[in-house]
């Protein structure tokens, strides 16, 4: 992906500082242009853990970074662009309570909702919103009972930073990753429609800068910037890798995931136009923990059940749970989970969305503890079984690979099936040579299919299962983590890439 896409308006300035600091918290050079900017945005998005991951990130370090900027005379404004209440081992246990508590301690100023804020249901979301000491801004998720943004959030917020008056608008993703049963209590408005409603209100307040805090896909952010050129900055989320781009005159930033880096955006407005100075700051062990935030993190770590350390099985090979692989190709941990689902239900085939497996790391050969199982499968989904025709099964496989070559959570991990994907075909017709347990797929035959309740309910675009005969309903299906744990208890596993999914260029 090209990091910058044509600066088309001469009055818009963007300066990129692409260096890695040799030591933490060196102050800006005297007279550096960004020192004159009244506002310093610190951006996080898609943060699933309070602690460092592979010695990068950690909310206690981020709290120190913010405090250091305050000591330097800056006005840091810490923003989180959605996806933090789920998913992780800790969130499976605490349902996001630990994230809100640690973010409160770290001094988070503003957040919007991402698709994973709804994972534990509306009641849990409302409780977490009440616990937060930071501002919630979201304009397109509406409580059907009140007609107002969910949880008392503001659709937009106006704040002054010295001589700079800034308007913030919040937008949440509705195009993927949401469970349809959430629609009963909440209304999800198309983000551009919500923007067209509230941006005039910001303009009426004569703000100097418009910042959209969004949890949308990069394509949706670009379309938003193209349609509404008066947006100065989009502080975005959803993608798990850093993005810094210009669309029209709008600067779009995404900071990666898990707080491994913080995007620093210093903003000013002068007669010549808007100035935005950008730096992606790595959060490493060079940054010490802030004591109060570290204490909150430690308290939740201590509360985790000792049962999470119990050995539940053994793997003779490394288990590759890298997010990119699970969402674009056959994966050995995907095969393992799908095999466990099929074995536990006795179904003909099993299918799950690759995005339902988490961890984003390679687990080495050796013991597997309960914490590892929950890390792989943190969402609490149940294994269901339905009866489908071969045609419906083919439709599902085509839907699963339709986003290729893009990385997408809908990518299917399967058991009992082999297939070839022809990338020359249109997105809705790429799957070829499907075999079920070695025999050619019969479009008129009925097959039993094991799948997560998230997929059964239409999650990640699997809408073709609506109305199909349910054999094992979500209410009686076993949790996926328990199914995997029981499968591991049978004896050592050694899942391999077997050619279940072959992708032809």
DSSP string of 86-128, one letter each residue: SSSHHHHHHTTHHHHHHHHHHT--EE---GGGGTT-HHHHHHH
Cα separation, 348 vs 414, whole angstroms: 11
3 state DSSP class of 363: strand
Provide the pLDDT confidence category of residue 11 given band limits of 50, 70 and 90: very low
**In this model, does residue 21 exceed pLDDT 60?**
no
Closest CA to 80 of 113, 117, 51: 113
Relative to beta strand 362-363, strand 273-282 is unpaired
Provide the pLDDT confidence category of residue 27 given band limits of 50, 70 and 90: low
Closest CA to 34 of 4, 14, 20, 62: 14
321: Cα separation from own chain's centroid: 16
**In this model, does residue 452 exceed pLDDT 60?**
yes
Give residue limits of the domains in the chain: 13-302, 308-504
pLDDT for residue 505: 76
Q: How many residues does the chain have?
A: 505
pLDDT for residue 179: 61
**In this model, does residue 18 exceed pLDDT 90?**
no
**In this model, does residue 237 exceed pLDDT 90?**
yes
Share of the chain above pLDDT 90, in %: 80
How large is the average pLDDT for residues 215-243?
96
How large is the average pLDDT for residues 320-345?
96
Q: Which long-range contacts (CB under 8 A, 24 or more apart) does 165-168 make?
A: 165/205, 165/206, 165/207, 165/208, 165/209, 166/39, 166/207, 166/208, 166/209, 166/210, 166/211, 166/267, 167/202, 167/205, 167/207, 167/209, 167/210, 167/211, 168/110, 168/137, 168/211, 168/212, 168/213
pLDDT for residue 30: 66
Q: What tokens were used for 242?
A: 């850093």
177: Cα separation from own chain's centroid: 9
**In this model, does residue 472 exceed pLDDT 60?**
yes
Question: Phi, psi at residue 458, to the nearest 5°?
Answer: 100, 5
What class is the 308-504 domain? Answer: alpha beta
Ramachandran region, residue 175 (left: φ > 0; alpha: ψ -120 to 50; beta: rest)? alpha
**In this model, does residue 458 exceed pLDDT 90?**
yes
How large is the average pLDDT for residues 160-180?
88
> For 266-291, what is each residue's pLDDT tens digit?
999 988 899 999 999 999 999 999 99
**Contacts with 341 (C-beta within 8 Å, 6 or more apart), sequence order:** 347, 350, 352, 383, 415, 450, 451, 480, 483
Question: Phi, psi at residue 65, to the nearest 5°?
Answer: -60, -45
pLDDT for residue 4: 32
pLDDT for residue 102: 98
> For 340-387, what is each residue's pLDDT tens digit?
999 999 999 999 999 999 989 899 999 999 989 999 998 888 899 999
pLDDT for residue 40: 98
**In this model, does residue 16 exceed pLDDT 70?**
no
For the chain, the average pLDDT equals: 91
**In this model, does residue 7 exceed pLDDT 50?**
no
Cα separation, 389 vs 235, whole angstroms: 44
Share of the chain above pLDDT 70, in %: 93
pLDDT for residue 178: 64
Residue 35 CB burial class (10 angstroms; 0-12, 13-18, ≥19): middle
The end-to-end CA distance of the chain, in Å, is 19
Cα separation, 93 vs 116, whole angstroms: 15
**In this model, does residue 44 exceed pLDDT 50?**
yes
- What's the fold here for domain 13-302? Purple Acid Phosphatase; chain A, domain 2 (3.60.21)
Provide the pLDDT confidence category of residue 83 given band limits of 50, 70 and 90: very high
């Amino acid at each position: 992906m090209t990091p910058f896409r044509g600066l088309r308006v001469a009055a818009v300035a963007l300066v990129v500082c692409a260096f890695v600091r040799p030591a933490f918290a060196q102050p800006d050079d005297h007279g550096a242009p960004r020192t004159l900017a009244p506002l310093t945005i610190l951006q996080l998005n898609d943060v699933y853990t309070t602690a460092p991951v592979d010695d990068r990130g950690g909310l206690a370090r981020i709290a120190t970074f913010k405090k250091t900027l305050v000591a330097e005379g800056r006005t840091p404004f810490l923003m989180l662009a959605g996806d933090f209440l789920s998913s992780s081992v800790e969130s499976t246990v605490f349902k996001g309570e630990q994230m809100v508590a640690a973010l409160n301690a770290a001094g988070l100023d503003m957040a919007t909702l991402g698709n994973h804020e709804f994972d534990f249901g509306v009641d849990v979301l409302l409780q977490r919103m009440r616990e937060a000491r930071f501002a919630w801004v979201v304009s397109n998720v509406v409580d059907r009972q009140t007609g107002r943004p969910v949880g008392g959030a503001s659709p937009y917020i106006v704040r002054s930073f010295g001589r700079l008056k800034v308007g913030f608008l919040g937008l949440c993703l509705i195009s993927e990753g949401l469970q349809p049963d959430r629609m009963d209590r909440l209304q999800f408005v198309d983000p551009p429609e919500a923007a067209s409603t509230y941006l005039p209100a910001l303009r009426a307040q004569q703000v100097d800068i418009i910042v959209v805090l969004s949890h949308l896909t990069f394509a949706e952010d670009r379309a938003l910037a193209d349609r509404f050129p008066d947006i100065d900055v989009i502080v975005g989320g959803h993608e798990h890798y850093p993005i810094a781009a210009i669309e029209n005159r709008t600067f779009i930033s995404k900071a990666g995931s898990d707080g491994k880096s913080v995007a620093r955006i210093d903003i000013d407005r002068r007669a010549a136009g808007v100035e935005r100075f950008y730096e992606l700051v790595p959060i490493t062990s060079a940054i010490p923990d802030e004591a109060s935030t570290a204490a909150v993190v430690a308290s939740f770590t201590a509360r985790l059940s000792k049962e999470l350390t119990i050995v539940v099985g053994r793997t003779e090979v490394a288990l590759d749970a890298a997010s990119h692989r699970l969402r674009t190709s056959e994966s050995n941990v995907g095969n393992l989970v799908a095999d466990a689902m099929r074995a536990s239900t006795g179904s003909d085939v099993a299918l799950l969305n690759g995005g339902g497996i988490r961890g984003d790391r390679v687990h080495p050969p050796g013991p597997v503890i309960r914490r590892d199982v929950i890390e792989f499968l943190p969402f609490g989904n149940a294994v269901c079984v339905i009866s489908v025709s071969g045609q419906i099964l083919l439709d599902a496989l085509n839907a699963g690979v339709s986003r290729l070559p893009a990385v997408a959570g809908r990518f299917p991990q399967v058991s009992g099936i082999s297939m070839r994907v022809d990338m020359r075909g249109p997105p809705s017709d790429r799957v070829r040579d499907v075999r079920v347990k070695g025999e050619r797929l019969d479009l008129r035959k009925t097959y039993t299919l094991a799948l997560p309740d998230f997929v059964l309910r239409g999650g990640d675009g699997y809408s073709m299962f609506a109305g199909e005969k349910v054999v094992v309903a979500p209410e009686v299906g076993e949790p996926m983590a328990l199914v995997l744990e029981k499968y591991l208890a049978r004896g050592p596993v050694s899942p391999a890439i077997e050619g279940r999914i072959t992708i032809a260029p």
